[in-house]
Amino acid sequence: PPLRVAYSGVAREAFDGDAAHGRELLGIGDEPFVLSVSRVEPRKNTLALALALRELPYRLVLVGPVLRGNERYLEAVRKAAPHLVHVPHLEHDLVRHVHAAAAVHALPSWYETTGLSTLEALATGTPVVVGEGPCVREYFGDCAAFCRPVSVTSVRGAIVRALDRSTGRECDVARSYSWDRTAQELLRAYAA
């Protein structure tokens, strides 16, 4: 049967992040940090991210809950990143400020669909790191630094690339995935 794709979107509000407010919410100063907004669990590959940052001068900030049964995983992440800031919950309308404050948003997941938090990071102009995968390549193209989740070295290299070469197109890529566009795609699909 014919197939129609309705891409996930990013809300208009995501573009209005305030970096100073984000730092205030996290309780950290001007130091640069790498942010990951997601659940803390092995599938999101948070431990590899923490290990990748060991040789880089960036603090790791995690925003998201620890899935039940993954408390030991969080402890392993804490051990790998002693200066970790973990915020188990932040109201969604405040996340944009934390995105705006980050040097990079990294989600080196073993498997990811769209990565809505990655789209939201792009909306604030923040460079992003994502694990390789066909659907993330379709969304982010050359606007993201891709890594092989299996390799801490690859994750580290992607972070360095993202820091070194912001494309300047992050917001434009995010704007191309609006919820209005998604709604129109769905309406066209139902009409067909």
b/e per residue 140-162 (b: at least 16 CB within 10 A) = beebbbbbebeebebbbbbbbbb
Instruction: Kindly give the interhelix angle for 92-101 and 116-123, rounded to the nearest 10 degrees.
Output: 60
The pLDDT tens digits of the residues spanning 14-62 come to 999 999 999 999 999 999 999 999 999 999 999 999 999 999 999 999 9
Beta-carbon contacts of residue 20 (< 8 Å; ≥ 6 apart): 101
- What local confidence, expressed as pLDDT, does residue 94 receive? 97
pTM above 0.85, yes or no: yes
Q: Would the pLDDT of 133 be above 80?
A: no
The pLDDT tens digits of the residues spanning 159-188 come to 999 999 777 788 888 988 989 999 999 999
* Local confidence band at 157 (pLDDT 50, 70, 90 cut-offs): very high
Farthest-apart Cα atoms in the chain, separation = 54
**Closest-CA residue to 119 (of 19, 52, 37, 56):** 37
